[in-house]
Amino acid sequence: MERSTLTDQPRLVVISNRVAVPKARGAAGAQGGLAGALHAALSDRKGLWFGWSGQESESGRTGHIDTQTTDGVTTATIDLSQRDIDEYYNGYANSTLWPLFHYRLDLAQYERETGKGYERVNERFADQVAPLIEPDDAVWVHDYHLIPLGERLRSRGLKNRIGFFLHIPWPPTRLFVSLPYHERLVRTLLYYDVVGFQTQEWLESFLHYCEHELGAEVDGAKGTVSFEGRTTIARAYPIGIDWDHFSQLGSAGEARQAQQRLLSSSRRRTAMIGVDRLDYSKGIPERIDGIGRFFDKHPERVQDLVFIQIAPPSREDVDSYQAIRAELEQKCGRINGARSEVDMVPIRYVNRGYSHEELFGFFRAAKIGLVTPLRDGMNLVAKEYIAAQDPEDPGVLILSRFAGAAAQMPDAVLVNPHSPDDIAHAIQTALDMTLEERKARYQKLIATVRDDNVQDWTANFLRDLSEA
């Protein structure tokens, strides 16, 4: 797709929960997909990026904003109080919306206090960022933490074009209506000019709600929702990776060393890899069960394989995240206890982050990439794994059909992540796959990863925003 010229575009203001300071790009740690994607968007324009610093202090209440400018990108951050963090971030965002939007009604908590905290912090964001926004700026709000922000900015008189992108799934109406005050939340979304989703599936769930619960007028062909005199564009914009940056990483010494390190430590064994934030939505325990099932069915192959799971902890103050960590340690321990030899451990479970260079090297060394979330907005690891493969001897991607990425990557080996048998069978399929078939699948997958990249995602979203 042709790239738009970005130079005479209005200034871009990005607002998201967290801000990654530009120098942190590529730094080790679980930054999340959002950080890399937004940095790519802002570095092309003279952008302002506003959000929470990640720090706890009372200074946010006094209106203090920290700003710094690096390479033309200005970051402006505020601190949050402990109460704000508990109620808004750990509470409503990550204990109510995140589980519900990932179809986990069993984990979703509904507390009046955290709901109020969520609204209070959105109000604070609006108070602090509104004076930094100039009349011609295009404003782009990100993700489930900040759904009401557009409406809060409008109530302060902002006439700018304001868009919103949801990085996670939108749940089916019959699940979504279990959220108290669901209508209030959706009404606030319709104050944006453009609302973007990762996939057609999440978009359709949203439109279904608007039409059948809210009684809005939905024009599916045009991709618009009209309600109470306003019209919002609602479309799917599948996010991609920063191809230009990522595909170059293979030439970095750090990537080659990482690749070598993995290859030499696994000797003649075939390496399989999983890389995820430690999150229940990523299906890591279910993946380990699938690997255990494969070993049960093919004990003779335990010697030939090694599975590396890299999973840095995230959101450690939320109970369900502590629970998944404990569960995973137990599952890996059980398989390793039963299947290890003095000189061989079948599962290596690592709780830390790595740089993108190192991840590139690990991905390239691994002949099978296991990306098996139970539900995922998109999943960039699937795309990074493909981008890191050797075209002459590519590895096989095993991908959950419930990841948004599956819609774009049908040439992966698609699995039901809830079924250990299905995962075990997919591993067998990958191990048996001929070089010819691996190459054929890789060719199709790499075309998607290269062509639907993060620059196009940004350009497509901002083009619709500018035309709204």
Catalytic residue among 289, 376, 411, 422: 376
Say how far apart CA 364 and CA 390 lie, in whole Å.
Answer: 7
Within its chain, how far is the Cα of 284 from the centroid? 15
Query: Which position has the token pair 């989703």?
Result: 197
Residue ranges of alpha helices (H) inside 139-199 are 149-154, 173-176, 182-189
| Beta carbon nearer to ligand ADQ, 293 or 383 | 383
Q: Per CB under 6 A, does 380 bind ligand ADQ? A: yes
Q: How far is CA 68 from CA 21, 23, 72, 255, in A?
A: 9, 11, 10, 31
Is 167 known to be catalytic?
yes
274 binds ligand ADQ (CB under 6 A): no
Q: How many angstroms separate the Cα of 80 from the Cα of each of 10, 19, 59, 87, 120?
A: 30, 13, 8, 11, 11
Closest CA to 195 of 181, 210, 184: 210
Is residue 376 close enough to count as binding ligand ADQ by CB under 6 A?
yes
> Partners of 468 in the beta sheet?
none
> Which position among 39, 124, 161, 277 is part of the footprint of ligand ADQ (CB under 6 A)?
277
Q: Closest CB to ligand ADQ among 302 and 358?
A: 358
Q: Is 30 a residue that touches ligand ADQ (CB under 6 A)? A: yes
Stretch that binds ligand ADQ, among 1-9, 208-216, 335-343, 353-361 (CB under 6 A): 353-361
Task: Please report whether residue 462 would count as binding ligand ADQ according to CB under 6 A.
Answer: no
Residue 167 vs 331, nearer CB to ligand ADQ: 167
Q: Given the complex with ligand ADQ, which of 52 and 294 has the nearer CB atom?
A: 52
Piece in contact with ligand ADQ (CB under 6 A), picked from 154-162, 263-271, 371-379, 388-396: 371-379
CB atoms inside a 10 Å sphere around CB 154: 17
Picking from 206, 237, 202, 207, the residue whose alpha carbon sits closest to that of residue 402 is 202
Measured from the CB atom, the residue of 302 and 405 that comes closer to ligand ADQ is: 405
**In the bound complex, what is the minimum distance in angstroms from residue 119's beta carbon to ligand ADQ?**
23
Indicate whether 377 belongs to the interface with ligand ADQ (CB under 6 A): yes
Q: Is 99 in the site for ligand ADQ (CB under 6 A)?
A: no
CB of 312 to ligand ADQ, least distance (A): 5
| Interaction between residue 310 and ligand ADQ (CB under 6 A) | yes
**Does residue 390 have an active-site annotation?**
no
Site string for ligand ADQ, 384-403 (x = CB under 6 A): x-------------------
What number of other Cβ atoms are within 10 A of residue 406's Cβ? 22
**Closest approach of Cβ 20 to ligand ADQ, in Å?**
11
Q: Which of 381, 386, 445, 459 binds ligand ADQ (CB under 6 A)?
A: 381
- Identity of the residue, 172 or 312, whose beta carbon is nearer to ligand ADQ in the bound complex: 312
* Nearest distance in Å: CB 354, ligand ADQ: 5
Instruction: Please give the distance of CA 207 from its chain centroid, rounded to a whole number.
Output: 22
Distance between CA atoms of residues 340 and 336, nearest Å: 5
Is 353 among the residues that bind ligand ADQ (CB under 6 A)? Answer: yes
Whether 421 and 293 have beta carbons less than 8 Å apart is answered as yes
Q: What is the DSSP letter of 22?
A: G
The answer to whether the beta carbons of residues 238 and 378 sit under 8 Å apart is: yes
Q: Is 379 in the site for ligand ADQ (CB under 6 A)?
A: yes
Among all chains, which residue has been given the structure tokens 């704000």? 84
- DSSP character at residue 313: B
Q: Does 168 bind ligand ADQ (CB under 6 A)?
A: yes
DSSP character at residue 301: G
Point out the catalytic residue in the list 39, 102, 167, 245.
167
Q: Which helix (H) or strand (E) holds 60?
A: none
Q: Which residues bind ligand ADQ (CB under 6 A)?
A: 30-34, 36-37, 167-168, 239, 275-277, 310, 312, 353-354, 359, 376-381, 384
Which of the residues are catalytic? Answer: 167, 376
